Structure 1
Amino acid sequence: MKMKKWMAVSMGTIMISSLLAGCGDTGNKPEAEKPTATSSNVTQSGMPIVKEPVTIKVFSGKRFASQNLNDIMLWNEYKKLSNVNVVWNDVNREQLIEKRNIVLASGDYPDAFYGSRFSSTELLKYGQQGVFVKLNDLIDKYAPNLKRILEQNPDIKKAITLPDGNIYGLPTLTDPSFEAMRSGSFMWYQKSLLDKLGVLEPKTTDELYSFLKQVKEKEPNLIPLGGSKIDSLIPLIKGSWGLGNNGASHPNVDTDPKSGALRFIPVSTEYKEMLQYINKLYSEGLLDKETFSANTDQMIANGTQGKYAVTPGYNPEATFRQKGYVGGLTLKGPHGDQLYANVGSLVGSLGNFAITKNNKNPEATMRWVDYLYSDEGAKMFFMGFENVTYKKTADGQYEYVDDIKNNPKGLTQDQAVGQYLTWPGGGYPGILKQQFFKGSEGMPASVEAVKKVNAQFVKEVWPPFTYTPEEADKLSALQTDINTYVTEMQAKFITGNVPFTEWDNYTAKLQKMGLDEYMKIYKAAYDRYKK
């Protein structure tokens, strides 16, 4: 439930001046030159964005079926502020990809796609087909907030620029100082249990094992380790074997510290040792069996009853309404490795906003979305409106009103926020900043937790890579089979359904599935990124 969020920029914006300004005789101007949503209608800076109202049609996903984006406070108020009326075609996020692709196949494009999670490959495909417009010049002239961010962080610009040199989509960004968002998840320990057993937070993988053994022996009503899927646990311990040394955006590929070459993590000796460690936890009853089931409801039920001694993932205060947990340390592994590998790039999804060729108001549309990259826009997007959804504290901080934090109807914070705002569930353009984001990663316990691990953050965090159409076609065919097999065998090795004596057969099969070709494509994208 990583609720990605935010950031907006100062309301100042650099816009084109009216093309009519300073012209002499205007008496013979044809009616067609009456200001519309072209650059002559766009204001120089501030709000409103346009002098005369304009309407744009936008396709978007939404988290809650009960939401109506055409009648929700956030967009209703922004319409009043900007003079831009957005008509939303909103679909439930479970149907997002299917419905999005139907719209694209129809040729009846909206003016823009919002939060539609296009991959870099899809952006390049539709950009080169002319469906999505190039955003380079629009950003330069009509997006001062995003432009400033790109100038201050050249790696971000490099990450969102596709192989043909163009930008076709706008990303979710994270402010570099918002470290809790860049990491997001931690090993959470029940503080009262640590105190009761008289132990400190584990510092090594061996100490974690010993602590879980104590819990099983002395606290039979508790589940030693659980509350999330296996893909929440592995990113938090893989660094204890030196894996994931280029961050979370590439879970299966990093740099081999011995050779400096790219490494496919799931065939490495270190990965095998990590799985053997988790297998030991599982076989001794220290790791919850639900870790490999689809029974999320049961995990939530256990979590809300405080049954997990240790839970990997997002803040239990947000996921389970449990405040008695503290974030743990980066565990040192059997060979002395101690990396916090679950560090995300500053760049999230590249394709959370795209403007189509049907858009008659691209300048106004760019100004509209650019506001979400400003401080004021981010505050509006993530916090809402003063004395309605948030209040300002005596020390100048922002917090949600009690009706959202402690909803009397029993709604979770996400559900309560979703009555007014649209950020829960992720999938939006903008920038996440700590002062405005109050989801799991912005909670005080998460902010404190990251202070314990940031010294072990990996040094070079790769953003998502971009691929040419030819590379993408080959990679897609290979990646689906390879990743599916890796995930399947990961579970089988950990649960003991397949013994580790089958390891060589496992790696040999991956080679037969085209792993060398997979890594060759990956390297081409990596070399392009480094250049």
Structure 2
Amino acid sequence: MAKFTKRLFGVLMVSVLIVSTAACSSGNDAGEAVSQEKEVAKERNNITFADISQDIRGNKAPTQAQSDEINHTLNDTYLEDMFEETIPNDYSAYPYKTDATLNIWMPANPNIPDMNKQVVQKQVEKLTGIKVNFITPPVGQEADAFTLMISSGELPDIIINPERYPGGLEAGLNDGAYLDLTDLMETNAPNYSAWRNSDETRRKTTVTDSGKLLGFYGIAPYSEWTWFGTLIKKEALEKTGLEVPTTIEEWHAFLKKSKEVGFAEPLNYGSSYGQVFTGIINGAYGVWDWTFLDGNGQVAWGPAQPKAKEYLTTMQQWNKEGLLNRDWATADFNQRMASAISDKTAVMMDSPDTMWSYWKQQNDIDFVGALNPVLNKGDKSATTYKNFKRTGTTAAITTQCKDVEAAMAWLDFNYSKKGWEILNYGEYGTVHLIDENGKPYFPEDSYIYKDPDGQPVATTLLKYRMHSWPAIRDEHNSNPLIVAKGSYSGDIRKEWTESMDTSMAMPPITFTQEEASREAELGNQLSTLRGEYFAKIIMGELPVDAYDKFLTAAKKMGLDEFLNIHQAALDRYNQR
């Protein structure tokens, strides 16, 4: 233990933490009678369940007994297989017989005051028979808390977001913090193993370059739709009389006209929490935010691309003309949303799910989506975002775990059919129901939409379900902002995804321990340099020609080494 603590303390001092059963509906009386008279048994890994599909599917007013059957047992016979690959349902480990309580460290979420009281997690605890205790540091203190926890040498059983470890998961393994689960997965995590192996992309993105399985990853049934882009108030289109712009030139004309008709700061360009240089406007010039794949499939760095000066010239001009929000470099989330709903903003660069809540639901502001702009009419719009079926968060089991089998069983439940249902859709009855085809859905009177405490959907989607977790996330069907009655945020995201080129998107590569430390050092230096120069040029504090000094400084700083590290990692990823 002393060796472990000493090595970790040394790493932490020189490394940068890497952040981030009743009646059915009428009309099927004959079928219901047959169902009530004769139960059909289904075998679930030595557990026999009565088939309750007839009683649950299409039932809009379940009895308490029916709700208890769904919420308090592992019976999943009423659920249909919705995806190309079947979600596994091995429940042989439950209820798990142990007296141990697993301690789980995770970053806090301001919308979940006490994770130990989160209703879905309490339900998982009952269904699995595994007791857990969540340890969450105060919001904003996650990095310091993680550092102190690791350097103390006193580890919990499970860590959520274990990539925070300096050097990533493999560094944590090499330093004796995380367990190698490779030889344990098939036996102790049958659902996770079956799900990740059912698709080549899921398999490839959940294994290290050396073939190790070090954690449980959030993995989806599909590549999720692009979540971020440009959104325009319909009112702005009506007042300007213009169509949705497609080229940079058309965008310039639209923003100027929007300002003329009363939108004082028409483009909400960014904020202090990261949505600056969004890959939307700069992407039109090929000046992507960070790393991307060039036409030859090699790693390149967006800020160093040939048209960077053209992009900066455009943004400096737009800023000078007052087309951007004046506080784009400093605004926090609340300031940004306040600006969004005001009369001065015409365009947001954000998630249509978020803006569905803030614009349409809360303020009755209709909007449309626009593809990322291009330089020339007819060019294909592009984005560096691609999901690769990896989503949600990751969990690792530490070397100090009291009961490794229990920890794996607890995590493995999330990748079962029952786990998929309750983590994505919450409690049966109050939060979701099952339609005639065996698909979960949120009725209009769901707690998601009509919270007894009066909280908005942006909060209830975390209060009554798990939005980002080591699990199978069914974003397209279970995000209540997407599937809300009348919502078109999913339509926008789908259109973006299907209409934009993603060939330049970087897959989720990983670095060796030696690479990770250097990559983090160089990455932070380059990011700071890019942020300072680009922001000052756009704000007019530096001339566009200052970009030449920026590029020279980036190269002296080690840009080529940075790219070589990423290229080596990409080459290994391609060989997995």
Give TM-score scaled by structure 1 length.
0.81
1:151 aligns with 2:213: no
Counterpart in the other structure of 1:194? 237
Aligned 1:128-139 pairs, distance under 5 A: 128-139=174-185
What SS does structure 2 have at the residue aligned with 1:311?
strand
Q: CA deviation at 1:97?
A: 2.4
Contact 1:49–1:83 (8 Å) recurs in 2: yes
CA contact (8 A) 1:59 1:110 kept: yes
Please show how residues 6-405 of structure 1 align to structure 2 within 5 Å: 45-46=91-92, 48-51=94-97, 54-64=100-110, 67-118=113-164, 121-179=167-225, 183-218=226-261, 220-226=262-268, 228-229=270-271, 231=275, 234-244=278-288, 251-257=289-295, 261-305=298-342, 307-315=344-352, 316-320=355-359, 321-322=362-363, 323-334=365-376, 337-346=379-388, 348=390, 352-391=394-433, 398-399=441-442, 401=445, 403-405=447-449
Partner of 2:548, secondary structure, is: helix
Q: Which runs of 5+ in 1 are unaligned?
A: 5-10, 16-42, 245-250
Query: Match for 2:473 among 429, 432, 437?
Result: 432
**Equivalent of 2:532 in 478, 488, 496:** 488
The residue matched to 1:458 in structure 2 has which SS?
A: coil
Partner AA of 2:541 in structure 1 = N
Shift of 1:115: 4.0
Post-superposition shift, 1:282?
1.3
Q: Secondary structure at the match of 1:254?
A: strand
Give the counterpart of 1:411 among 441, 448, 455: 455
Q: Distance in 2 between matches of 1:95 and 1:435?
A: 32
Aligned residues: 481
Q: Deviations over 1:74-128 (max 9, x none)?
A: 2222111111111222223422222122222222221111245536832111212
Match of 2:70 in 1: none
Distance 1:410 1:342 in 2: 38
Structure 2 letter corresponding to 1:434: E
* 2: CA distance, partners of 1:458 / 1:527: 19
**1:312-368 deviation digits (Å, cap 9, x = unpaired):** 111212344345111113422248643331423335579720111222422232222
| Distance of 1:188 and 1:351 partners within structure 2 | 27
Cα deviation, residue 415, structure 1: 2.8
SS in 2 for 1:105: helix
The offset of 1:47, in angstroms, is: 6.7
Aligned residue identity for 2:426: G
Q: What secondary structure is seen at the aligned counterpart in 1 of 2:348?
A: strand
Aligned-partner Cα distance in 1 for 2:290–2:161: 26
> CA, structure 1 residues 14+511, in 2 after alignment: closer, same or farther (shift >3 Å)?
farther
Superimposed CA distance per residue, residues 508-529 of structure 1 (whole angstroms, 9 cap, x where no aligned partner): 1111111122122222112211
| Structure 1 position 499 matched with structure 2 position 543 | yes
Consecutive aligned runs of 4 or more in structure 1 exceeding 6 Å deviation: 11-15
Return the letter of the residue paired with 1:284: E
Structure 1 position 228, deviation (Å): 3.7
Tell me the SS of whatever aligns to 1:195.
helix
8 Å CA contact retained: 1:240, 1:336: no
Q: Structure 2: how far apart are the matches of 1:380 and 1:93?
A: 26
Give 1:380 shift. 1.2
Aligned equivalents of 1:170 and 1:336: distance in 2?
43
Deviation (angstroms), 1:420: 4.0
Whether the 8 Å contact between 1:379 and 1:436 is mirrored in structure 2 is no
Unaligned 5+ runs, structure 2: 1-19, 21-41, 47-88
Distance 1:349 1:117 in 2: 14
Q: Which moved more, 1:369-378 or 1:340-349?
A: 340-349
Q: Is the 8 A contact 2:168 2:516 kept in 1?
A: no
Alpha-carbon distance in 2 for matches of 1:12, 1:498: 70
Aligned mates of 1:328, 1:513 — CA distance in 2? 37
Give me the CA root mean square deviation: 3.1
User: In structure 2, what is the equivalent of residue 28 of structure 1?
Assistant: none
Separation of aligned partners in 1, 2:538 and 2:90: 60
Cα pair distance change 1:157/1:253, threshold 3 Å: same
For residues 560 and 335 of structure 2, the distance between their equivalents in structure 1, rounded to whole angstroms, comes to 41
- In 2, the alpha carbon distance for the partners of 1:62 and 1:513 equals 35
State percent identity of aligned pairs. 23
Q: Say whether 1:445 aligns with 2:493.
A: no
Q: Contact (CA 8 Å) 1:188, 1:326: kept in 2 or not?
A: yes
Gap change, CA 1:411 and 1:123, over 3 Å in 2: same
Deviates more, 1:204-213 or 1:328-337: 328-337
Distance 1:117 1:467, change over 3 A: closer
Alpha-carbon distance between aligned partners in 1 of 2:451 and 2:90, rounded to the nearest angstrom: 42
Alpha-carbon distance, 1:391 to partner: 4.4
Q: SS at 2:328's partner residue?
A: helix
Q: Alpha carbons of 1:64 and 1:79: their partners in 2 closer, same or farther (altered >3 Å)?
A: same
Name which of structure 1's ranges 149-158 and 281-290 shifts more when overlaid on structure 2: 149-158
Amino acid corresponding to residue 521 of structure 1 in structure 2: I
Contact 1:255 1:262 in 2 (8 A): yes
Q: Which residue number in structure 1 is paired with residue 34 of structure 2?
A: none
